Amino acid sequence: MANAKGAARAAKDSKALRTLARVGYAVLGIVHIVIGGIAVSIAVGAGGGEADQGGAMEQIQKSPAGVLLLWVIAVGLLALAVWQIVEAFLERDPDTKKKWGYRVKYVGTAAAYFAIAGTAFVYAIGGQSDSSQSSQSLSAQLLAAPAGVFLLVLVGLVVTAVGIAFVVRGATQAFTKKLMIPSGAKGRGIVTFGVVGYIAKGVAVGVAGVLFVVAALTHDAEAAGGMDAAIHTLAALPFGAFILWIVGLGLIIYGIFCFARARYAKM
């Protein structure tokens, strides 16, 4: 453990890793802006592709210099994932239970960044990835396993809890603890964008978690489709187009907030 902490401290002192991690926040913003744009296009009935990481990477791949940007996204998010793991090892809270809670959060966040980086890498080398199909395949495999319904409900509850955590983090402005917020109108704008963005992302993630639970209770793996399925589910609700407009714009705002996070994150 001592050697691991020593390596973590050395990594945290690395200017190159810190810079790449900040780039990771910025490219995460790009991904969310594209996903939000796809969600808005679905709201107005214009299609636009899948409103998830795979759909965002596909849109980026088609853009000028898209492959180069995909490589930047992959490298930036890999660095950001490593930074989260470094934070997990260096968590110094004297409360052991709280310390391990933070470590689980950091490692879980790192896993999410690794997954998005992996998707960017697949598209950078000319491949494709269907996030909805992956979610449905995972659901089918879990349902076929012993206690599969319980396991899939558990996955759904965990994802739903993550969505709720995003909403709470936005509503309480807890995210500001990790930022060096400037004074004045600029600081107020960053906080406002963070609140709106976190809540919008929390709604989308939370709906995706509920769909996993529905898939388990109905024994229908196709009901689980990740972020894209959540977006389309919102669109199908009464006043769904309006709701999806709000969520899509919220995701775009979250993406813009990520640019500010890249500049003002405490690292």
Nearest to 123 by CA among 77, 168, 69: 69
Tell whether the torsion through CA atoms of 33, 198, 247 and 218 is positive or negative: positive
> How far is it, in rounded angstroms, from Cα 205 to Cα 198?
10
Tell whether the torsion through CA atoms of 234, 225, 35 and 27 is positive or negative: positive
**Range from 123-127, 154-158, 204-208, 235-239 carrying the lowest mean pLDDT:** 235-239
Q: Which tokens go with 101?
A: 């809670």
How much of the chain, in percent, has pLDDT values that exceed 90? 37
Q: Which tokens go with 73?
A: 């996204």
Quote the domain boundaries for residue 10. 2-264
> pTM to 2 decimals?
0.84
| Confidence (pLDDT) at 264 | 95
> For residue 263, what are the CA distances in angstroms to 69, 204, 258?
19, 26, 9
Band (pLDDT 50/70/90 cuts) for residue 131 is: low
The total domain count for the chain is 1
| Confidence (pLDDT) at 223 | 64
Which residues, 6+ apart, have CB-to-CB distance to 197 below 8 Å? Answer: 32, 170, 250, 251, 253, 254, 255, 256, 257, 258
Most confident segment among 13-22, 129-138, 190-199: 190-199
Strand, coil or helix: what is 177? helix
Q: What is the CA radius of gyration of the chain?
A: 19
